[in-house]
Amino acid sequence: MTKLQSIKDKIVQAYDLKHASTGVYRRWQDEYRAEVNKISKNRNLTDSGKFKLKELLAERKTVELMKMSKSQQDEYRSLLGEAQKEARKVADTKPPVVDKAIAERFDKAFGELKTAVMLATPEKAIIILNEFVEGTEEPALVDRIRAEFSSIIAPVVGQAKQEDKNKLIDLFEHTQRKAKGAEVIEAEQLIEQAEGMSGQKFFSLAVMERVIEVHAEAKKYLNDPDAFFEEYPGTEKINTAMRTEEEVILEAASEID
């Protein structure tokens, strides 16, 4: 597996995790609704008792939802963080050293190019320079053209029409891209993609519209569970799979005599 493929795989995993979040929430919501319904159908409880039990259930389930959200988002951002880190290593990689014989041939041709451009019209100079850039494959050598681009075109740029100047700008940008090499360019694109995904809200608007039925705090903090646990310290330690002591006592006190 190439480095770039490993990076792409992590981004895809993160995308799949986010894409699946709506389904994960719906399954959680179905379980929550089932518990609410169980309280509603309990004929042994007073109406006020049912109401209070549902409130306590909503509070406990909100904590459970925040834990689930945090777990998913931590994994999501971890994958994207690893992808960015690996991609930056590729993007910062220096071009491979050029074979000595190839470098010597380039030096000779490069010198001849400068002379040819200096003696040419702006239109012809653009053609000559473009062909030279296209004919140079090694990123390290293309980078030398990029580094000296302004001095190469200096003899003709003053005579160039605006149309020719625009072509020179395009050629320079093309030279910049080619100097990086295809792998570096793709790595930079992957960094941008991962950064863009990191800045997105994890849960969709559809989920945000549904979660209000659980609790106002659930909607407020669903996409920022860390802020929830900062606001309510200690709740992360609650065993949300079990009813709280308060729920048990309240249910007993709410039974119809």
Find the distance separating the first CA and the last CA of the chain, reported in whole Å: 69
What integer pLDDT is reported at residue 254 of this predicted model? 84
- The residues that bridge with 45 in the sheet, in sequence order, are 255
Q: What 8-state DSSP symbol labels residue 43?
A: T
- Estimate to the nearest angstrom the gap between the alpha carbon of 243 and the chain centroid: 38
- The Cα 194–Cα 209 span in angstroms is 26
Q: From residue 144, give the alpha-carbon distance in Å to each of 114, 127, 174, 228.
A: 13, 19, 14, 53
Integer Cα distance of 8 and 189 in angstroms:
11
Which of helix, strand or coil describes residue 97? coil
3-state DSSP assignment of residue 45: strand
Write out residues in the chain with pLDDT < 50, as ranges.
Answer: none
pLDDT score for 2: 78
Which residue carries 């950064």 as its tokens? Answer: 195
Q: Given this model, what pLDDT does residue 57 score?
A: 95
Residue 244 in contact with residue 52, Cβ under 8 Å?
Answer: no
This prediction's pTM: 0.81
